[in-house]
Amino acid sequence: MFLAVDVGNTHVVLGLYNKDKLVKSWRLASNRERTEDEMAVLIENLLNLEGEKIKGIQNMAIASVVPAITETFCRLSKKYLNIKPMLIQAGEDYGMPILMESPQEVGADRIINGIAGYETYGGPLIIVDFGTANTFDCISAKGEYLGGVISAGINISMEALFHKAAKLPRIDLVLPEHALGKNTKESIQAGVFYGFAGQVDGIVKRLWQEIGSQTNVVATGGLADMLFGVSETINIIDPLLTINGLNLLWQRKQNQK
């Protein structure tokens, strides 16, 4: 069995694979204080629910933007699995040309998204990843990483709103029926959903102008399903794009041996 680990600032997404088949995926809170022993117990319990054991994990690949959690998984793999995980790192060659001024600045998750998106949907392509930050990654028809956009994510924006506006209540992220809110809760929800949908559409349309053609727009990340259908430009939703990309890279590595 193969374990794909996508570590973000807000969530850790795990994907358990049997070759190219996804068996199960899980989304955990990113906790920098969690030890390798605690993480091992947590993973063991999740696997038990599927009739699997942690010792059945023979290989692991990690894409991470949180070094502390990366180290936790590296210690876990050594202590409990006796394996060395494959670490996806910026600046290394994974078969996709990075046409940036400083290729080493492109995060591991964005590289994986680009590779998985192009392999799955072809190019040209724009991938929108909704996470702690919202990222827009542009892939050419030739499979080149052209560049992208980074903006504040939905959760960060909401936290800033509640922190700075003391009288505004915390709300659940639920799509309102109308853009015209009839109370404070509906007004905030409308601002979040239609505001971010408008941001996505505005950025995508500007990127289309610079790329020179309209492309497929793939949404991924924990909040992707919330904006799908609200945005005018997103036409594909793939919440597990990153972990599928990790499995894809691992399988390629095995086939090269």
The stretch 151-156 carries a mean pLDDT of 82
* CA nearest neighbour of 93 among 102, 84, 103: 103
- Cα–Cα–Cα angle for 31, 126, 179, rounded to 5 degrees: 75
Quick one: pLDDT at residue 20? Answer: 82
The CATH architecture assigned to 103-245 reads 2-Layer Sandwich (3.30)
The stretch 102-112 carries a mean pLDDT of 86
Quick one: pLDDT at residue 228? Answer: 83
The stretch 108-121 carries a mean pLDDT of 92
Q: How confident is the model at residue 257 (pLDDT cuts 50, 70, 90)?
A: low
**Could you check whether 2-88 and 103-245 share the same CATH topology?**
yes
Domain ranges of the chain: 2-88, 103-245
DSSP the chain: -EEEEEE-SSEEEEEEEETTEEEEEEEEE--TT--HHHHHHHHHHHHHHTT--GGG--EEEEEES-HHHHHHHHHHIIIII---PEEE-TTS-SSS-B-SSSGGGS-HHHHHHHHHHHHHH-SSEEEEEESSEEEEEEE-TTS-EEEEEEEE-HHHHHHHHHHH-TTSPP------S-SS-SSHHHHHHHHHHHHHHHHHHHHHHHHHHHHTS--EEEEEETTHHHHTTTSSS--EE-TTHHHHHHHHHHHHHHHT-
Quick one: pLDDT at residue 229? Answer: 81
Residue-wise pLDDT tens digits, 181-239: 888 888 888 888 888 899 999 999 999 999 988 999 999 987 788 888 889 999 999 99
Quick one: pLDDT at residue 166? Answer: 61
The stretch 238-254 carries a mean pLDDT of 90
pLDDT at 132 over 70: yes
Quick one: pLDDT at residue 164? Answer: 67
Q: Give the span between the Cα atoms of 30 and 32, in whole angstroms.
A: 6
β-sheet bridge partners, residue 14 = 5, 26
The stretch 33-61 carries a mean pLDDT of 93
pLDDT at 172 over 80: no
Which residues belong to the active site?
Answer: 109
Q: Which residue has the higher pLDDT, 128 or 173?
A: 128
Q: How confident is the model at residue 167 (pLDDT cuts 50, 70, 90)?
A: low
**CATH of the domain spanning 2-88:** 3.30.420.40
Q: What is the mean pLDDT of the chain?
A: 89
